[in-house]
A and B are shown apart, each in its own frame.
Chain A
Amino acid sequence: MPLVEESPTGFDARRFLADLRREVETHPGVNHTFLARIGTSPFTHEDYRVFGLQHYPLVGMFTGYMERLLIHAPDTTAKCWLAKVLVDEYGEGSDGDDHTILYRRFMTAAGVGPGEEDTVVLHPAVRDFIHTHLVLCSQRPFLVGLGALGPGHEWAIPRMFTPIIAGLERAGFTGDEIAYFKLHIEQDEHHAIWLEEALAGMITTPEEAAQVREGTLASLEARLRFWEGVQEQVVRWRQPGLGLAMSERTRQWLAGTNSWLGTWTTGLAVSTAVYRPQVHSLAQRIPIR
């Protein structure tokens, strides 16, 4: 049964949603080459360890985005949908284990040690993804944020996780270890149905539809950059940094000159050696408006 009544304005929200769903499902961020590579290549536990460490901050932040959006929600219909999804994210439907706990199970199986996620070097694209979503959910109109978390996630995740699960199973992870991914395929299919019902009632004008689409595409573009960043980390971790081969003394001297040359060469050498600015500090810098 629909959560809400259909739009009385004559705007065909169902048609808009069908088109948007097609756009999401064929978006390069959802069909990234890296995901196809995971589905077909024998990445090892060691490779998935790197993958997990980069992906984990997104898992941990998702409820944070939703809580911010919940504050913004204009009516109880919207709050109701968000609350339903939030309750699942908090652990209902997974024996009380919230999603970060489930994800940690996977990370432990991949070889991540306790607390390691707090010291890992995050790729700039990971920080960019979090930053983008914090802004979308806190500082943009509600429907933009909803577009990002709704269609931008719920319609995208089952499609993205299918090749990931295939890759993880090939690498020998057990069903229990990858429960996080499997659960998301099931749960997000339910969420997607609820979402479509909720959105069909909330979108009554082309302007509202445009806001939802804007948020959806912003999320997917950030997702595209995210997968490129994770791919870079996963396929390159086995190599030493690709900075110019030069002695430490030379590098220090160049850095000391503070010239464009120094900046350029040291930048190349240490471009990935920026330690994780805690995700919380990112969140603090983006107040809810």
Chain B
Amino acid sequence: MRILLVQPAPFEDARLGLENTFWLSEPVGLTSIGTMVQDTHEVRILDMRLEKPATLPETLRSFQPDIVGTTAMTTDAYQAKAVMLLARQLLPDCLTVIGGHHATFMPEFYDEEYVDVVVQGEGELSFEDLVQIWDRALVADDKPDTRVLAVLQGARVHLPDGTWTEGSKPKWREIDDFPAPDRNLIQQYKGQYFFLAAKPLASIFTSRGCSFDCNFCAIWEFYDRKTRFLSAKNIADQMEACEETFLFLLDDNFLTNHTRLERLCEELEERKLGKYWMTQGRTDFIAKYPDLIARLSNVGLTGVLSGYETNDEDALEGLNKRSTLEANRKAAEILRKNGILSTGIFMVRPDFEVADFDALYDYIADLGVTFPLVTILTPLPGTEMFRKYRDQLLTEDFRLYDLLHPVIPTKLPREEFYKHYTRYRTVYRRSRNGWLTPRLAWKRRDFLMKLMPNMPRTIIQGLKYQKIQFDYRSYLRDEAGIIEDVRPAAPVPEEETTHAAG
């Protein structure tokens, strides 16, 4: 059988948001499920974030896949639908399959005539079963129908009479037992993935799930409260197998399980891979294990993305974060001391008043993280917060669920809210950022030299992005026609939208 797996394009290229502008990671989810079935079937992956729009219909026409699979986070939800509609239009007999976060938490969103299967939860095992069943069905019958898939575990199946099966818990397995995702499946995009100036960038998943239960995050629900880890040896093997110098460990919370990380240090100290890697982790872990962080830094840890969230102890508790402001402060300091780039995510809440914005920005400026990113608290599908605020949502247009638009009512008028939100650019000017002291720059000289070739591109991206990011009217225009009573903002006079470079 021929199987086409498609990573959808963003709704709008260069749209507000970190992903795709400063960070483009490999489509590891698709590579992983493709690897499960590639020994017996012809698998092709299309990353539409890196392709022209016409490539999708061209590939459907020339490759003639029997199965078209796609995936989506919430903001890509419509794009994934478009992939399947197009597949159905061009190849009426092909089976269309959707998986990923949005499909898991809002399966009914995909109750469409052109969708055949909605995989919920982890996709590898369900997809492997699906492919086997469909392959057998195609051998037996030229035009099988989806009833043969009704037994599938971890998926809802669209039956020929228009009804859907109930779905069931996904199958799961220890992740050490899965084959390592075969990066040859995305060979054609080699060298095009990046995080800031770290390019080319490879991506690896070394764990699944999170043992915390923050109410704005759905990770722990997606993995049914289970956390599983790849062994230290397996991580080191996968890192070694990558040709790229820069790696991103995509785990939602890599900095956990102290023993595993100690073993990883041993493996990497022994192998001396010369790789520079970045990941995501909690500040309380960093604060608790400064020696481990120093050791990880010595084996290539060069960047950590963490949710610092807020300047308010009560708010941290309200988010169920189970961390403290003291942990945030210590973490920023430890990362700085070790020459590790810290990307800090902060949240403004829709109920913010002017003084709350001031207090948050003062806090960020004083904290000294390398790249502070300020987002807006968004009740994402699948989270406790979404269930709590569902009846207050101003829209279910998922274009706006990008952490940059309040989708519940704001205390300040929206225009006012965005004016204060976009003030966060001042943080960059005021930030006490000691990352690049001469001593640390010297210590990190090899890493910095390797970043140099891509620095101009990153700076240009940054300048272009600033223009969108810090213009409050662009946020209002995003809402026009979507959130009631918000009219298009007046066209922006040129002199007001431009600012001095940097």
The contact string, 1 if C-beta is below 8 Å from chain A, for chain B 12-24, is 1111100000000
A28 to B399 CA separation, bound complex (whole angstroms): 25
Given the interface pairs A32-B54, A239-B468, A242-B468, the reply to whether A44 lies near B78 with Cβ below 8 Å is no
Q: Is A238 an interface residue (CB 8 A)?
A: yes
Tally of contacts, chain A with chain B, CB under 8 A:
129
A115 to B480 CA separation, bound complex (whole angstroms): 23
A33 to B460 CA separation, bound complex (whole angstroms): 29
The answer to whether A240 and B85 touch across the interface, beta carbons within 8 angstroms, is: no
The answer to whether B464 and A243 touch across the interface, beta carbons within 8 angstroms, is: yes
The answer to whether B482 and A44 touch across the interface, beta carbons within 8 angstroms, is: yes
Give which listed residue, A47, A240, A246, contacts B481 with CB less than 8 A: A47
* Chain A nearest Cβ from B425, distance in angstroms: 11
Residues of A within 8 A of B274 (CB): none
Residues facing A in B91-135 (CB within 8 A) are: 112
Q: Is A42 an interface residue (CB 8 A)?
A: yes
The answer to whether B52 and A228 touch across the interface, beta carbons within 8 angstroms, is: yes
Residues of A within 8 A of B (CB-CB), count:
40
Given the interface pairs A239-B477, A240-B468, A248-B494, the reply to whether A33 lies near B501 with Cβ below 8 Å is no
Q: Is A45 an interface residue (CB 8 A)?
A: yes
The answer to whether B85 and A36 touch across the interface, beta carbons within 8 angstroms, is: yes
What's the dominant secondary structure at chain B's contact region? Answer: helix
The answer to whether A31 and B488 touch across the interface, beta carbons within 8 angstroms, is: no
Residues facing A in B346-386 (CB within 8 A) are: none
Q: Is B456 an interface residue (CB 8 A)?
A: no
Residues of B within 8 A of A236 (CB): 12, 14
Give which listed residue, A33, A42, A239, contacts B397 with CB less than 8 A: A42
The answer to whether B464 and A244 touch across the interface, beta carbons within 8 angstroms, is: yes
A27 to B466 CA separation, bound complex (whole angstroms): 38
* Chain A nearest Cβ from B355, distance in angstroms: 29
Q: Is A201 an interface residue (CB 8 A)?
A: no
The answer to whether B78 and A37 touch across the interface, beta carbons within 8 angstroms, is: yes
Query: Which of B58, B480, B481: most chain A CB closer than 10 A?
Result: B481
The contact string, 1 if C-beta is below 8 Å from chain A, for chain B 486-502, is 00100010110111110
The contact string, 1 if C-beta is below 8 Å from chain A, for chain B 52-88, is 1110111011000000000000000011011101100
Q: Is A60 an interface residue (CB 8 A)?
A: no
The answer to whether B463 and A244 touch across the interface, beta carbons within 8 angstroms, is: yes
The answer to whether A44 and B481 touch across the interface, beta carbons within 8 angstroms, is: yes
**Which B residue sits closest to A237, measured CB to CB?**
B477
Q: Is B478 an interface residue (CB 8 A)?
A: yes
The answer to whether B54 and A241 touch across the interface, beta carbons within 8 angstroms, is: no
* Chain A nearest Cβ from B494, distance in angstroms: 6
**Which A residue sits closest to B482, measured CB to CB?**
A44
* Chain B nearest Cβ from A206, distance in angstroms: 24
Q: Is A26 an interface residue (CB 8 A)?
A: yes
A82 to B488 CA separation, bound complex (whole angstroms): 43
Q: Is B89 an interface residue (CB 8 A)?
A: yes
* Chain A nearest Cβ from B78, distance in angstroms: 4
* Chain A nearest Cβ from B487, distance in angstroms: 9
* Chain B nearest Cβ from A41, distance in angstroms: 4
* Chain A nearest Cβ from B293, distance in angstroms: 35
The answer to whether B467 and A243 touch across the interface, beta carbons within 8 angstroms, is: yes
**Which A residue sits closest to B471, measured CB to CB?**
A240
Residues of A within 8 A of B83 (CB): 36
Q: Is B412 an interface residue (CB 8 A)?
A: no
Residues of B within 8 A of A (CB-CB), count:
51
The answer to whether A242 and B464 touch across the interface, beta carbons within 8 angstroms, is: yes
Residues of A within 8 A of B112 (CB): 40
A250 to B494 CA separation, bound complex (whole angstroms): 13
Q: Is A208 an interface residue (CB 8 A)?
A: no
* Chain A nearest Cβ from B499, distance in angstroms: 6
Given the interface pairs A26-B61, A46-B481, the reply to whether A36 lies near B54 with Cβ below 8 Å is no
The contact string, 1 if C-beta is below 8 Å from chain B, for chain A 218-246, is 00000010011001000111111111111
A231 to B477 CA separation, bound complex (whole angstroms): 17
The answer to whether A31 and B89 touch across the interface, beta carbons within 8 angstroms, is: yes
The answer to whether A238 and B480 touch across the interface, beta carbons within 8 angstroms, is: yes
A248 to B494 CA separation, bound complex (whole angstroms): 8
* Chain A nearest Cβ from B64, distance in angstroms: 10
The answer to whether B498 and A41 touch across the interface, beta carbons within 8 angstroms, is: no
* Chain B nearest Cβ from A227, distance in angstroms: 8
The answer to whether B82 and A37 touch across the interface, beta carbons within 8 angstroms, is: yes
A157 to B474 CA separation, bound complex (whole angstroms): 34
The answer to whether A231 and B474 touch across the interface, beta carbons within 8 angstroms, is: no
Residues of A within 8 A of B468 (CB): 239-240, 242
The answer to whether A242 and B498 touch across the interface, beta carbons within 8 angstroms, is: no
* Chain A nearest Cβ from B468, distance in angstroms: 5
Query: Which of A34, A238, A240: most chain B CB closer than 10 A?
Result: A238
Give which listed residue, A34, A36, A238, contacts B478 with CB less than 8 A: A238
The answer to whether B501 and A245 touch across the interface, beta carbons within 8 angstroms, is: yes
Q: Is B394 an interface residue (CB 8 A)?
A: no
A239 to B480 CA separation, bound complex (whole angstroms): 12
The answer to whether B480 and A244 touch across the interface, beta carbons within 8 angstroms, is: no
Give which listed residue, A42, A237, A247, A251, contacts B78 with CB less than 8 A: A42
Residues of A within 8 A of B393 (CB): none
**Which B residue sits closest to A34, measured CB to CB?**
B53
Q: Is B11 an interface residue (CB 8 A)?
A: yes
Q: Is A215 an interface residue (CB 8 A)?
A: no
Give which listed residue, A33, A44, A243, A247, contacts B54 with CB less than 8 A: A33
Query: Which of B16, B81, B82, B477: most chain A CB closer than 10 A?
Result: B82
A40 to B79 CA separation, bound complex (whole angstroms): 8
Q: Is B90 an interface residue (CB 8 A)?
A: yes
Given the interface pairs A228-B52, A244-B464, the reply to whether A46 lies near B499 with Cβ below 8 Å is no
**Which A residue sits closest to B15, measured CB to CB?**
A239
The answer to whether B82 and A239 touch across the interface, beta carbons within 8 angstroms, is: no
Residues facing B in A145-163 (CB within 8 A) are: 159, 163
The 17 sampled A-B contact pairs (Cβ below 8 Å) are A26-B61, A28-B58, A32-B54, A33-B9, A33-B82, A33-B86, A36-B83, A41-B78, A42-B399, A159-B89, A231-B53, A238-B474, A238-B478, A243-B464, A244-B467, A247-B499, A248-B498
**A-B CB proximity, top 5 nearest:** A44-B481, A40-B81, A36-B82, A28-B57, A41-B78
Q: A31-B89, A46-B481 are in contact. List 5 more A-B contacts (CB 8 A).
A: A33-B82, A36-B85, A36-B86, A46-B488, A244-B501
